[in-house]
Structure 1
Amino acid sequence: MIQGTHSDSGKSILTAALCRIFAEDGFRTAPFKSQNMALNAYVTEDGKEIGRSQGMQADAARIRADVRMNPILLKPAGNQRSQVVVRGTALSTMEAAAYREDFYEKGKQVIQDAYESLASDVDRIVLEGAGSPVEVNLMERELVNMSTADMADAPVLLVADIDRGGVFASIVGTLELLPPEHRQRVKGLIINKFRGDPALFADGVSWLESYTGIPVLGVLPFVKDLYLEEEDALGLASYERRVEGIDAAILHYPWISNYHDLDPFKAEPDVQIRFVQRPEELGEPDLIILPGSKSTIEDLSFLHERGLVEALKKVPASTRMIGICGGYQMLGNTVRDPQMLESSRKEREGIGFFSTMDTVMLPEKQTIRTTAAAAAHPGIRWEGYEIRTGASTEEEKPWLCREDGTVIGSVRGRVFGTYLHDVFHQDEYRHHLLEDIRQEKGLPAQPRFSYASIREASIQHLADTTREYLDMAAIETLMTDGGGNNEKNDTTVE
C-alpha cells in the first residue's frame, strides 16, 4: 500500500508506476483506492462511476477499469457536503458528520467486499491511501489509510514530496503520530520529486534510516512533462502555462469538475492555458472553455455575481467558446433544480448564448460511455463519456449526436456546447479547431500527434524511472513474503 505524508505527495502516480511494473513482470495487477474524494471522475465500460485516477491506474496495469477498484467515491457538493457514490452509483448527498457516523459500518463492508472480490481475480493489488494517515481528528473512523492496510494486511510504503520542503519533519512527524501497531506497517520510505543528483541526498537517507529504523527504498527524481490525469483540484496549477500562440481562457468556478478534458491542450506547444475568475482577467482570448461543474447553479451564480456573464457577452466575435457538461448547461437560457439536488437554489438564469435551451436537474444520474459524431465533421467519431443529472431541451442547431441520433451538443455561430467529456481527446477534431485559430492569427501550423500515445508514453516513462530508482528487489520481497503486521519489527521513532 502506498500512503503519503500529505496530499499531492505522489501516491497516485507511484501507484500507477507500480501497476505498470508488476504488469510488465507478468502479474495480473489492479489498483485499489477504497475511498476517493475527487471531482474528476471516470466512467467504466458498464456505466459505473469511479475516481479518474483509478481509471488511469487501470490503464497503467493494462487491465479494464472496474468499479471494485474504487468502491466509494465522494464528490464534494458544498461546504461539509458530498455526494456519496457507492459501487459506482450515486447513493445520496450527505453531511460530513452524518457520513462518519451513519455510513461508517456500511462503508467498511462495501470496501471489504470490493477488495476481496478484486483479489480473487488478480495476482497483485497496489493500494493507495488518501491525504495523510495521521489526521488525528479523523483516524478513529477513517476508511482509506491504515484501516484499509489492516483489512488487506498490507505492508505500507510512505512517500514524501521533497520538492515542497520539510521532508524530514513530514516523515518523522507522520511516524510519530501513528499508533505503534500502524507504525509497524510502514516497511519503507520513498522520497519523491527530488531535483538534481540523488547522491547529494545520501546523508539524508542515512539519517532517516538511522532515526526511524525504516529503510529508504528510493529517491525518485522530479519527472517533468507527465501527461497524466490529476486526481483533484490540487493539480489545477499544473495546467497553467504561458506561451506565445493561442490564448485559451478556462473559467475557474468553485465547483469545477472533470477538468481533465483540458489535458490534451497541455501537449500543444503553442496553446497558452490560463484560469479566469474575474472579468478583468478575461481579456480577448482565442478560445474560452467552460468546464464541467458539480453544482451548475452555484457556479452559474458565481459567474453572474463576479460579472463574468456580461464579460463573456463582450468578447470579440472571433473568440470560440465551448461548454462541456455543466459548462454547456450554463450557456442556455435557464438552469432549474426544483428538488435542490445540487444546489440550495431552485433556478438561475443562464448565460443565454443558447437562448432556447433550458436545463432541469433530475434525480437519476446518467453515467454512460458514449460514441458520437457531428455532421459538420464527417468521418470523425468521438469516444468519451457522459456523467450528469441534468437534461436539456435541444432546440439549438445540433452539434454532436450519439450513434442512435440523440443530440448531446449544440452550436450557434462560434459557441459550442456538449455533454460529452473527452471531446478534446479526439485528435482530429482538436487539430482542426486549433489549426483554424492558427490560420486566422497567422500562426505556423503545428505537427499532429496522438494524445493517447503521449499519455501512454508518460505512463511508460514513469514506470521505467520508478523501476530504475526504486529498490524493486525489496518491494518484491514485501510482495512475496508478506510484511504486513504479522511479523513485528522495531520502527519506533527515537
Structure 2
Amino acid sequence: MNKALPIMIQGTHSDAGKSVIATGLCRIFAQDGYRTAPFKSQNMSLNSYITVDGKEIGRAQGVQAEAAKTIATADMNPILIKPMSDHTSQIVVNGKPYQNYKAAAYRQEFFELGLQVIKEAYHRLASTYERIVIEGAGSPAEINLNDRELVNMRIAWLTNAPVILVGDINRGGVFASLVGTLQLLEPEDRERVIGVIINKFRGDISLLESGLRWFEEYTGKRVLGVVPYLPNLNIEAEDSVILDSFSHTSKKTNEIDIAVIRLPHISNFTDVDPFLYEKDCHVRYVKEADELGEPDVVILPGTKNTIEDLLFLQKTGFAEAIRALHDAKKSVIVGICGGYQMLGREISDSHQVETALGNANGFGFLPIRTVMMKEKRTTLSTGMAHFADCVVPVEGYEIHMGTTSYEGDVSPFITTKEGFDGCISKDGLLFGTYFHGIFHNDEFRTVFLNSIRKRKGLPAIYERPSMKKVREEAFNQLADCLREHVDINFIYREMERFQSKSLF
C-alpha cells in the first residue's frame, strides 16, 4: 500500500489563515510532482462545494483540491456541519445529509461513528495519494472540547502527521496566542508541533526579529516562516467573518453598485466573488435596511434557513425596501437558491427540514411555490441562460432541499436537459435560479453587467476577467509566496521523519 506523507495545519483560532496555508502547500506539492490531496475531517461551514459525483463537502477542501490539481471527493471532507440555527446543524456524512443534531447531542451521540467515518476516509486517501495536507479547525487548545474532538490533535495522532501552528499577527497578540496555545497542549501533543507560521504580517520584518528569537528560545519551537499580508489574493474565503471587511454603503467612484443582503444564515456567499475582480463594480454586504439605498443590483443569496431569513427581511424593513426598488424599477433583483425561493409566492416546510415555523409568504415577484423536501439535491448542472436577448451557455452547482413548482405563465431563466431552472420577469429586471456559481460564467457575467451599463447609459465592456485564470494565478502566487517566506525543505524533512513511524 502507498504510504502517504501527511502534514497538518492547525491555528491559534478561527480565521488565522489555516485554509490559505493549506491551499498553498497543496499547490506546492502538486508543482513538485506529488499526487496531493487535502483533508479536513470535520468542517463547519455554510460554504459548500459539489463533487463530480454529486457529493457535498466544505468549499475550502474543494478549492484545495483544485490547488492540488486533483478531483475533489467526499473523502477529503467526510463530515460537514451546516448550522441551521444557533443550536441545530445538519450533519453531512460522506457527502450526503445524515441527520440534524443539537450541539450537545451531536457531541455525545455522534463521536464514535464520526471517528470511524474519518478513519475510513483517510485510509482511502492514503492509499491513493503521496502527500496529504490536513487542516484543523478552530484551536487545538479548546480544552473544554478536547476529550471528544474530531478535527485537531486526535486527527494528527490518527494520521501520524506533524503539526504546524499558524498565528495571525494582523489581529495583534500573536506571540501570546502562539505561546498560550502551545502551553495549553498536552506535552505529547506539543511535541508533535514542528514549528509555527506567523501569518498576515505587514511592515518591516526587522522590527519583528527580536520577537522571533525570543519565541524560539522560550518555546523551543522553530518559526518556520513569516508570511506577508496578501490583500489581493484571489482565493475564495471559507468563513463568513470575511464579510465584515466589506463596506455597507454605496460609493460614487464605482459605476455599478451591487448590494448583497447579508442574511443571518447566508450560505455560499462566494457566488458574488467574480464581481470583486470587475473594475466597474462595487460589492457591499448590507446588514440593515437603511444601508440599502438604490443600488443597481440587489442580490438575495443562498441561505441554510430560507423561511427564518425571509421573516428576518420582513421584520427588519428589508422586504419593504426591496419591494419599493422593484416597483419603481430602480434595481435589478437577483435571487440565488434560497434567495430565489423567497422571490416566489410561498415557501412550505411541513417536514420541518429547516425550521419548525411551517409556511411563509414570499415576495410574490415570481409565479412559483417551494416545498422543502427531506431529500437534498446536490449536483453539477449545465444549461443555457436566457437574458437580455442573449442565450448563453452556463454551468453551476445546486444544493437545495426545496422543490419549486411553477404557476401560470413562466419565462425560464435557464433551459437544461431536464427542463428548465429558475425564471425571469418579462422586463428582465428580476430573476432567480438554483445555479450557484452563475456569475462565475464569464460570458454570462459580461452580458449581465453590460445590461446594467446600458440601463445607466454607459458603454459596454467586453473584456472581463477569466475566473479560471484568476484562480490559477492566485494558487501560483500563493505557492510562490510560501516558497519565499516559509522553510518548505524543513517541512518536507519532518514529513519524512514522522513517516518512519507511520501507522499506514
TM-score (norm 2): 0.93
Provide the rounded CA distance (Å) in 1 between the counterparts of 2:305 and 2:315: 15
Structure 2 residue aligned with 1:95: 102
Alpha carbons of structure 1 residues 419 and 484: separation in structure 2 relative to 1, 3 Å: farther
Structure 2 residue aligned with 1:489: none
Alpha carbons of structure 1 residues 160 and 108: separation in structure 2 relative to 1, 3 Å: same
Which of 362, 365, 368 is matched with 1:353 structurally?
A: 365
Which of 292, 296, 308 is matched with 1:286 structurally?
A: 296
> Is the counterpart of residue 415 in structure 1 residue 430 in structure 2?
yes
1:102 maps to a residue whose letter is: E
Structure 1 residue aligned with 2:453: 438
Q: 1:185·1:483 contact (CA, 8 Å) conserved in 2?
A: no
Provide the rounded CA distance (Å) in 2 between the counterparts of 1:22 and 1:216: 21
> Is the counterpart of residue 387 in structure 1 residue 399 in structure 2?
yes
Provide the rounded CA distance (Å) in 2 between the counterparts of 1:469 and 1:357: 54
Mean Cα deviation higher: 199-208 or 382-391: 199-208
Provide the rounded CA distance (Å) in 2 between the counterparts of 1:433 and 1:269: 15
Provide the rounded CA distance (Å) in 2 between the counterparts of 1:171 and 1:125: 24
2:466 maps to a residue whose letter is: S
Q: 1:359·1:393 contact (CA, 8 Å) conserved in 2?
A: yes
1:63 maps to a residue whose letter is: T
Structure 1 residue aligned with 2:344: 332
Alpha carbons of structure 1 residues 379 and 333: separation in structure 2 relative to 1, 3 Å: closer
Query: Displacement of 1:387 after TM fit?
Result: 0.4
Q: 1:394·1:407 contact (CA, 8 Å) conserved in 2?
A: no
Query: Displacement of 1:448 after TM fit?
Result: 1.7
Which of 188, 202, 209 is matched with 1:195 structurally?
A: 202
> Is the counterpart of residue 456 in structure 1 residue 472 in structure 2?
yes
Provide the rounded CA distance (Å) in 2 between the counterparts of 1:295 and 1:485: 46
> Is the counterpart of residue 362 in structure 1 residue 373 in structure 2?
yes
Q: 1:239·1:266 contact (CA, 8 Å) conserved in 2?
A: no
Name the SS for the 1:143 alignment partner.
coil
Alpha carbons of structure 1 residues 158 and 403: separation in structure 2 relative to 1, 3 Å: same
Query: Displacement of 1:374 after TM fit?
Result: 2.5
Which of 393, 400, 416 is matched with 2:414 structurally?
A: 400
Alpha carbons of structure 1 residues 398 and 219: separation in structure 2 relative to 1, 3 Å: same
Query: Displacement of 1:8 after TM fit?
Result: 0.4
Structure 2 residue aligned with 1:491: none
Structure 2 residue aligned with 1:323: 335
Name the SS for the 2:234 alignment partner.
coil
Q: 1:22-80: CA deviations, max 9, x gaps?
A: 11111001000000000000000000000000000000000000110000000001111
Query: Displacement of 1:125 after TM fit?
Result: 0.3
Provide the rounded CA distance (Å) in 1 between the counterparts of 2:500 and 2:244: 36
Mean Cα deviation higher: 235-244 or 382-391: 235-244
Q: 1:419-462: CA deviations, max 9, x gaps?
A: 01000001111111112222332445543221111111111101
Structure 2 residue aligned with 1:492: none
> Is the counterpart of residue 374 in structure 1 residue 389 in structure 2?
no
Provide the rounded CA distance (Å) in 2 between the counterparts of 1:338 and 1:276: 31
Q: 1:382·1:426 contact (CA, 8 Å) conserved in 2?
A: yes
Mean Cα deviation higher: 24-33 or 227-236: 227-236
Q: 2:336·2:434 contact (CA, 8 Å) conserved in 1?
A: yes
Provide the rounded CA distance (Å) in 1 between the counterparts of 2:479 and 2:247: 25
Query: Displacement of 1:484 after TM fit?
Result: 9.4
Structure 2 residue aligned with 1:144: 151
Name the SS for the 2:19 alignment partner.
helix
2:75 maps to a residue whose letter is: R
TM-score (norm 1): 0.95
Q: 2:278·2:465 contact (CA, 8 Å) conserved in 1?
A: no
Provide the rounded CA distance (Å) in 1 between the counterparts of 2:385 and 2:190: 56
Q: 1:360-395: CA deviations, max 9, x gaps?
A: 000000000001112446552111110000011123
> Is the counterpart of residue 204 in structure 1 residue 202 in structure 2?
no
Provide the rounded CA distance (Å) in 2 between the counterparts of 1:234 and 1:186: 27
Which of 254, 258, 261 is matched with 1:251 structurally?
A: 261
Provide the rounded CA distance (Å) in 2 between the counterparts of 1:261 and 1:375: 19
Q: 2:243·2:285 contact (CA, 8 Å) conserved in 1?
A: no
- Cα RMSD for the two superposed structures: 1.6
Structure 1 residue aligned with 2:221: 214
Which of 304, 309, 314 is matched with 2:314 structurally?
A: 304
Alpha carbons of structure 1 residues 186 and 485: separation in structure 2 relative to 1, 3 Å: farther
Provide the rounded CA distance (Å) in 2 between the counterparts of 1:160 and 1:320: 42
Unaligned runs of 5+ residues in structure 1 are 487-494
1:148 maps to a residue whose letter is: I
Provide the rounded CA distance (Å) in 2 between the counterparts of 1:427 and 1:437: 15
Q: 1:400·1:410 contact (CA, 8 Å) conserved in 2?
A: no
Structure 2 residue aligned with 1:37: 44
Q: 2:26·2:37 contact (CA, 8 Å) conserved in 1?
A: yes
Structure 2 residue aligned with 1:57: 64
Structure 1 residue aligned with 2:4: none
